[in-house]
Amino acid sequence: MARYLSIVETAGRASIEEQDDTALWFSHAMKNGGADVSILLRGDAVNYALLNQDAKGLRFGARAVKGPDLVRDIKAIIATKIPLYAVAGDLADRGIQSSQLVPGIEQIQRSGIARLIEGHDRILSW
């Protein structure tokens, strides 16, 4: 069976409404369909790893626009046993400390990305 790696670099993709980030949703759906999939968060997408974030939506006067619950989505991915990695340098560049991460996310160095890619047969870049 092919091993898939979803590399998520762009944050907030298609998440203005009450839905998940497309890349996270698709990777989770692949796993639920029996695929061997891992996820790498890099660039701005490392913000998804923050434990105490609230990116649930906007308010315009009395009207609420609901957004995704990224913490819930990341915890569900980890609970499904999808390996989830975040680039340590990208976390540091954004001032995100290890203590602020959702438990279960493995940090890797930028120098380890090539090795991670080599361990997978198919790469999805988002």
- What's the CATH code of the domain at 59? 3.40.1260.10
Query: Which among 54, 43, 32, 53 is positioned nearest to 100, based on CA atoms?
Result: 53
Asked if residues 17 and 66 have their Cβ atoms less than 8 Å apart, the reply is yes
Would you state the pLDDT for residue 109? Answer: 98
pLDDT tens track of the chain, all 126 residues?
Answer: 899 999 999 877 665 555 567 888 889 899 999 999 999 999 999 999 999 876 666 778 888 777 677 888 899 999 999 999 999 999 999 999 999 999 999 999 999 999 999 999 999 998
User: Where in the sequence is the domain holding 114, given as residue range(s)?
Assistant: 3-125
- Run of H or E residues at 119: none
How much is the pTM?
A: 0.87
Position of tokens 């819930």?
72
Number of folded domains that form the chain: 1
pLDDT at residue 65 in the model: 72
End-to-end CA distance of the chain: give it in Å, rounded. Answer: 22
pLDDT attached to residue 13: 65
What pLDDT is attached to residue 62?
Answer: 86
Locate all alpha helices (DSSP H) within the chain, ordered by sequence.
22-32, 70-79, 88-93, 113-118
